[in-house]
Amino acid sequence: GAVVSQHPSWVICKSGTSVKIECRSLDFQATTMFWYRQFPKQSLMLMATSNEGSKATYEQGVEKDKFLINHASLTLSTLTVTSAHPEDSSFYICSASGGNYGYTFGSGTRLTVV
Amino acid sequence: AQSVTQLDSHVSVSEGTPVLLRCNYSSSYSPSLFWYVQHPNKGLQLLLKYTSAATLVKGINGFEAEFKKSETSFHLTKPSAHMSDAAEYFCVVSVGATGGTSYGKLTFGQGTILTVHP
């Protein structure tokens, strides 16, 4: 079946630094990638949708300059949290879709900003 | 607009007893509906999906769900709970995306935490 690899699984960074999270589709071409954020004991909230080769579409309230999304190839999308602050600490999950594969989720990244 | 309501934030069952996780949806169009399971600090695993075919959908690990349009419901059931079923479950709705080349946004329910007692 379809596999999506997300790295790193957890990261701790200092306030003011940037962190990049990678999402790779290992055995299919992901024409669309979704990035979600999940706060403790809450549901997943869609941050943005990206189609390969196009600019990402951000959900209302999500700062595009803070959460940079790149989807340069059919197998890789990255989310960069710029100038991270403690309130950005959260669980980030990607989802890849393409071909006959539905929505395949990565294993998530736990970001802690100190 | 589409939305999903999971009627129970927590469900507790004994091992070997039936599981019922309730989900109601709202959608202006014919929806695709999914159930996902999430173990702590993990990604989401698809249990099953409904995409306008059979209304009774069978998934992995013995789970199944029935799409009832008249009740706008998509409840998840399992005849006999196992300890390994303890996790958080999400009911999800999507409009206009059933695979292929078009993928619509997913809207997640609030989640139901399933606890299984020995």
| pLDDT tens profile A6-62 | 999 999 999 999 999 999 999 888 889 999 999 888 889 999 998 888 889 999 999
So what's the pLDDT on residue A99? 75
Report the residue of chain B nearest A93, measured CA to CA. Answer: B43
Cross-chain residue pair B43–A97, CB shorter than 8 Å: no
The residue written with tokens 């990244």 in the block is A109
Q: Is A98 exposed, middle or buried (0-12, 13-18, 19+ CB in 10 A)?
A: buried
Q: What span, in angstroms and rounded, lies between the C-alpha atoms of A77 and A71? A: 4
| pLDDT tens profile B51-99 | 877 899 999 999 999 999 999 999 999 999 999 999 999 999 986 544 4
CB B116 within 8 A of CB B13: yes
B-chain CB neighbours of A42 within 8 Å are 110-111
Longest Cα–Cα distance of chain A, Å, equals: 41
More confident call, B25 vs A101:
B25
* B42 touches A: beta carbon within 8 Å: yes
The residue written with tokens 């024409």 in the block is A31
Cross-chain residue pair B106–A100, CB shorter than 8 Å: no
